[in-house]
Amino acid sequence: MSAKLARREHRTAWLFLTPLVVVMLMVAVWPLGRTFFFSFTDAYLDDPAVYGMVGISNFIEVINDPAWWSAVRNTLTFAVISVAIETLLGLGIALLLNEAIPGRGLLRAAILVPWAIPVVVATKIWEWMLNDQFGVFNRILISLGLIDHGIAWTASSSLIMGVVIFIDVWMTTPFMVLLILAGLQTIPGEMMEAAEVDGIPAWKRFWSITLPLLKPAIGVAVLFRSLDAIRMFDLAYVLAASNQNVMTVSIYARDRLISFQELGVGSAASTWVFLLVALVAIILIGALRLDRSAGE
Amino acid sequence: MATTASTSSPVRIKRRSSAHYRLRRRVRKGALGVLILLVLAYTLFPYYWAIVSSTKQGAELYTTAFLPALNFSYYRQLFDNPVFMGSLLNSVFVATGTTVVSLALGIVSAYALGRLDFPQKRVVLMAILMISIFPQVAVLSGMFELINALGLYNRPSALIVTYLLSTVPFTTWILTTFIREFPRELEEAALIDGCSHFRILTRILLPLMGPSLASTGILAFILAWNEFLFALTFMLTDENKTVPVAIGLIGRTTRYEYPFGQIMAASVTVTLPLIIVVLIFQRRIVAGLTAGAVKG
């Protein structure tokens, strides 16, 4: 291709990308920039036009707040445990779905149901099922003789984090299953057959063939899920509003910003959330070496 | 992998009767069947229980009868409630609007990223990926200002603008991978005949992209339909709220008995269309999800 033609193609490409660039500047870059800006001011939400510059004092106020650190702890606990369980459970169900079994299509459809249910709705359904007096979960446990009176799953400060993790696992394991299943289906069947003919036991076939070949698929799924888990807002908010025991960093930042109207401090907290997500993204991408395959 | 056979110690193959193998096969089949039933119960029971609960009235609700009572008065109340029906309409409007705009933006950008050559392509793809991991709370204060500046505060159309932050990067990314899968020969003849890129996109590629647009569109629709944080923050009055916020806030205001029957009826109502769509387009959705992630 001649240089002139190539240049024309570059121009066309940017012409096609103009709407995207304009929209992303408007809804992503500009708002993020304003959040950074506000975090250095003492503005309040009722009148953002009146403000003074206060340097980094908002950032310091946030990191001196014990509630912030408890939110960070909650968020990381939630992210690590829920993603770990989802990965293991997702791997298990994906392996099951990969077997030649009757009703595989039905099972794959059933798997998608929790994924399609809105977070708010799933939370409400589980809240009802876990209700201490009338919830079906306690009723079943009582009739099995495991407990003698209903447990207040969502009211107890020590159990509520477990409940949040449990609901999240229910909702997002399907996503894991689908991604891992897609990975499984790229493994050539002949390879497994050859190993089987050679008399390699099933667990070893899984450990030495399936798992290493699945690593990229699992890595991508873990990355997506972890970043999602760290910015989690809706589940904990609907279940427990501003309950300290499950308050995530997103809930903390929104509380300061909207409920307390502190545009300056709230923006600083939002900026910390952004930096936390960025840090986790960098660590995970580095650990999984995903950067090399990106964009290909 | 061929080496595994030669390096492993000679495997002693014990001779076993065919009855032994038949038994083993049967045990395996039985175990798989039990596992499948467990997975089905885990994924489907909560939604089933929501349906059952939504048709029970008064004291019936607090019994553990596992069959629906088929009393639809909660649904009648729901459909007679103008505020709930209004929020249902808002959700339909917002989710449809978001889907249309983000598909239009996505397809034009995907053509540039998937088909045209320009030096900054990698940078653009990385930027899109970075924007897609923005925590929503990080743009909240800037978005607040943007919505006010556009005069859209407390109007459902404001949500379409804010949702573009999450949907556009994702539709662009998925459609780019879909466009790359089409053979280039399709357009080469047209290009040589002097056909413009815009005409190639609208006359040659677009008619072929129905299935890709469907799977991407469904994912964008579900994302917009389920969104909670922006909808909670930017809609002030009840008549402008979307369904997830309406459901999430039921019972927040009353200190009396929690209206679980009504909440379940509302939950079933807003989820049913999603589940039907997901079951019909099962294959397309899986294709969209894995195209976005596995190649990312």
CATH of domain B81-294: 1.10.3720.10
Backbone angles phi, psi at B259, to 5 degrees: -80, 65
Please enumerate in sequence order all residues whose Cβ is within 8 A of that of B203, keeping only pairs 6 or more positions apart, or say none: B190, B195
Sorting pLDDT into bands at 50, 70 and 90, what band is B117?
A: confident
DSSP code string of A88-144: HHHHHHHHHHHS--TTHHHHHHHHHHHHHS-HHHHHHHHHHHT-TTT-HHHHHHHHT
Per-residue CA distances from A15 to A38, A136, B198 (Å) = 33, 58, 10
Q: Is B290 within 8 Å of A178 when comparing Cβ atoms?
A: yes
A150-162 burial, b if ≥16 CB within 10 A, otherwise e?
bbebbeeeebbbe
Q: Is B112 within 8 Å of A254 when comparing Cβ atoms?
A: no
Sorting pLDDT into bands at 50, 70 and 90, what band is B1?
A: very low
Which pair of tokens denotes residue A152?
Answer: 């207040």
User: What pLDDT is recorded for position B293?
Assistant: 61
Residue B116 CA to residue B114 CA, distance in Å, equals: 6
Contact A269, A62 (CB under 8 A): yes
Bridge partner list, A41: A53
Residue B179 pLDDT greater than 80, yes or no: yes
Residues A53-67: pLDDT tens digits?
888 888 988 899 899
Mean of the pLDDT values across residues B37-59?
86
Residue A76 CA to residue A273 CA, distance in Å, equals: 12
Mean of the pLDDT values across residues B97-122?
90
User: What pLDDT is recorded for position B99?
Assistant: 95
Q: Quick one: which of B215, B275, B36 has its CA closest to A113?
A: B275
User: What pLDDT is recorded for position B171?
Assistant: 92
Per-residue CA distances from A246 to A173, B204, B226 (Å) = 21, 52, 21
- Report CA A77 to chain centroid distance, whole Å: 13
User: What pLDDT is recorded for position B106?
Assistant: 93
Q: Is B116 within 8 Å of A121 when comparing Cβ atoms?
A: no
Contact A181, A95 (CB under 8 A): no
Mean of the pLDDT values across residues B35-59?
86
Least confident of A100-104, A156-160, A163-167, B279-283: A100-104
Nearest to B138 among A35, A121, A133 (CB): A35
Residue B115 CA to residue B178 CA, distance in Å, equals: 11
First to last CA, chain A: 22
Please enumerate in sequence order all residues whose Cβ is within 8 A of that of B223, keeping only pairs 6 or more positions apart, or say none: B98, B163, B166, B167, B170
Sorting pLDDT into bands at 50, 70 and 90, what band is B252?
A: low
User: What pLDDT is recorded for position B261?
Assistant: 83
Question: Between the CA atoms of B16, B21, B27 and B28, what dihedral angle is there, to the nearest 10 degrees?
Answer: 120
* 3-state SS, residue B170: helix
User: What pLDDT is recorded for position B199?
Assistant: 82
Q: How far is B90 from chain A (nearest CA, A)?
A: 16
- What are the boundaries of each domain within chain B? 16-71, 81-294
User: What pLDDT is recorded for position B187?
Assistant: 78
What integer best gives the mean pLDDT of chain B?
83
Contact B228, B20 (CB under 8 A): no
Mean of the pLDDT values across residues B224-249?
89
Q: How far is A21 from chain B (nearest CA, A)?
A: 9
Q: Quick one: which of A163, A186, A180, A158 has its CA closest to A225?
A: A180
Query: Mutate which of A27, A58, A225 to disrupt the B interface (most B C-beta within 10 Å)?
Result: A27
- What are the boundaries of each domain within chain A? 74-262
ipTM for the predicted complex: 0.88
User: What pLDDT is recorded for position A185?
Assistant: 83
Fold type of domain A74-262: MetI-like fold (1.10.3720)
Q: Is A275 part of the contact surface with chain B (CB cutoff 8 Å)?
A: no
Determine whether A280 is exposed, middle or buried from the number of CB atoms within 10 Å of its CB (0-12, 13-18, 19+): buried
Residue A133 pLDDT greater than 50, yes or no: yes
Bridge partner list, A276: none
Q: Which residue type occupies A272?
A: W
Mean of the pLDDT values across residues A99-124?
84
Residue B282 CA to residue A74 CA, distance in Å, equals: 35
| H-assigned helices in chain A | 3-24, 30-38, 57-63, 66-98, 104-116, 119-129, 136-143, 160-184, 189-197, 202-205, 211-230, 234-240, 249-254, 263-288
Q: Which residue has the higher pLDDT, A11 or A73?
A: A73
CA dihedral (B117, B123, B125, B131) positive or negative: negative
Contact B1, A209 (CB under 8 A): yes
Sorting pLDDT into bands at 50, 70 and 90, what band is A295?
A: very low
Residue B61 CA to residue B69 CA, distance in Å, equals: 9
Which pair of tokens denotes residue B67?
Answer: 């069959």
Residues A212-262: pLDDT tens digits?
888 888 888 898 899 989 999 999 998 887 778 889 999 999 999 888 888
Which pair of tokens denotes residue A135?
Answer: 């919830």
Q: How far is A198 from chain B (nearest CA, A)?
A: 6
Residue B147 CA to residue B149 CA, distance in Å, equals: 5
Q: Is A200 part of the contact surface with chain B (CB cutoff 8 Å)?
A: yes
Backbone angles phi, psi at B124, to 5 degrees: -60, -45
Interface of A with B in 160-189 (CB under 8 A): 170, 174-175, 178-179, 182-183
Put simply, whether the predicted model's pTM sits higher than 0.95 gets the answer no
Please enumerate in sequence order all residues whose Cβ is within 8 A of that of A235, keeping only pairs 6 or more positions apart, or say none: A119, A123, A164, A167, A168, A171
